[in-house]
Structure 1
Amino acid sequence: MIKKLALAAVYVAIAYLIYIYGDNILAWFQQANSIPLIIIMASIMALFPIIPYPIVGGVIGAALGPILGAVITWAGSSIASILMFLFVRYGYQEWGQRILARNKSISKITVMFERNAFLTILFARMIPFIPSIVVNVYAALSRVSFTSYTIASSLGKIPSMLLFAVVGDSVMSSPQNMPITIAVYAVFIAIALGAYRLWQKRGIVQHREVKQ
């Protein structure tokens, strides 16, 4: 219990510092010229999302351009997700699994999630209104392998991170192109969501056939 409380206290303390110095950090992104340092800072901002990460991605995109900005934004977000996964997996998994096991419905969902973890995580990352931290924590508390989580999570983040950087660059350089960018991404999300629903239905049908 002491270990869990200590980890939580460290997390809250760092989040508080980001809350205080958030404006200064965003200003630093606009003038920084060290790519490794920008990636590290982007990872920290994603790991402690006091400032919404789309804003961070937009600032980076505006400062470095859509392509480099997207790569850095994606790298920071992916690294942060991996660190959060490890943080929860090795600090809270046993405790979290006991909580999940208390509810039979959640237990059944978790079993289904673990059977189809790669595709579920991949599609969840592509849908921007699913909170990233929910995917991170739930995957860490489950029995999903670190490799499957890392690959699926990182691949699934590519479209949204590209959007954040492109929108940020468009706001600064070509605001008239922003509606087109958002419309293209909306179409992509609709396709991804439709594919996910079809995959879910197919999985349910196969499960019923096996059960019969």
Structure 2
Amino acid sequence: MGFEGFQEFFTLENIKDLLNEYRSFGPVPAILLPFFEAFLPFLPLFIFVMANTNAFGLWVGFLLSWIGSSLGALMVFLLVKKYGHTKVLTFLKNNKQVHKLTNWVDHHGFGPIFVLLCFPFTPSAVVNVVAGLSHINMIQYSLAVLAGKLVMIFTISFVGYDIPSLIKQPIRTAIVLIIIFILWYVGKRIEVRLNKSLERHNG
């Protein structure tokens, strides 16, 4: 099977059939699919999340997708953090665009990473790698990933689970936007406290 055939396999119906076929493994396949997407960004996260919500229901499907996607992002971050300065990944660090993005993350921290990860079509693999090459610490990035992925995965779950209601009840869409703002504000407040604690510790 060629690459095109490989991509054509990842349709909503095929993934739903796959989840049903391996139902005996419980939630493991539903977690692994978005987990692997963090390492293989050409995989359709949108389809995985929609399949999970159709197979397990809105809330359980959302939770399993969020866990898998967040764990995958953090794993990529940790691997790049550990091996990003080796010869294998030197070409990434020396890339001018990557270098600019890394400096940008160093100066802005939580805020922009959170916002980027909120949007379903952001190349999160790039965000994970750049963050891994930056000086952002594990706590800050974990916070950004967990909050950003929560918003993004919930949005996909919400849209994919009941598309007609999104059109008929626009107030529910407004609620999602309010949640994004609240999470961003809370995340920024936590980051400020973390930075103050680090300054006191270093001082």
- Is this a same-fold pair by TM over 0.5? yes
Q: State the distance in 2 between where 1:94 and 1:178 align.
A: 47
Structure 2 residue runs without a partner (length 5+) = 189-203
1:144-163 Cα distance to aligned partner (Å, 9 max, x none): 11221112111111111012
Aligned pair 1:178/2:170, yes or no?
A: no
> % of aligned pairs identical?
25
Highest RCO, 1 vs 2 (Cα 8 Å, sep ≥ 6): 1
Change in CA separation of 1:28 and 1:119 when aligned onto 2, cut-off 3 Å: same
User: Shift of residue 28 of structure 1?
Assistant: 1.6
CA contact (8 A) 1:65 1:165 kept: no
Aligned pair 1:92/2:75, yes or no?
A: no
| Number of aligned residue pairs | 176
User: Shift of residue 97 of structure 1?
Assistant: 6.4
Length-normalised TM-score, structure 2 = 0.67
Give the alignment's Cα RMSD to 1 decimal. 3.7
Aligned pair 1:123/2:111, yes or no?
A: no
CA contact (8 A) 1:30 1:60 kept: no
Larger deviation, residues 117-126 vs 57-66: 117-126
CA contact (8 A) 2:30 2:64 kept: yes
Structure 1 residue runs without a partner (length 5+) = 1-14, 200-212
Q: State the distance in 2 between where 1:40 and 1:80 align.
A: 9
Matches within 5 A, 1:71-86: 71-86=63-78
Query: Which residue number in structure 1 is paired with residue 193 of structure 2?
Result: none
Query: Which residue number in structure 1 is paired with residue 47 of structure 2?
Result: 55
User: Shift of residue 68 of structure 1?
Assistant: 0.7
Q: State the distance in 2 between where 1:138 and 1:56 align.
A: 24
1:140-191 Cα distance to aligned partner (Å, 9 max, x none): 1111112211121111111110122222322xxxx421324798169729x7
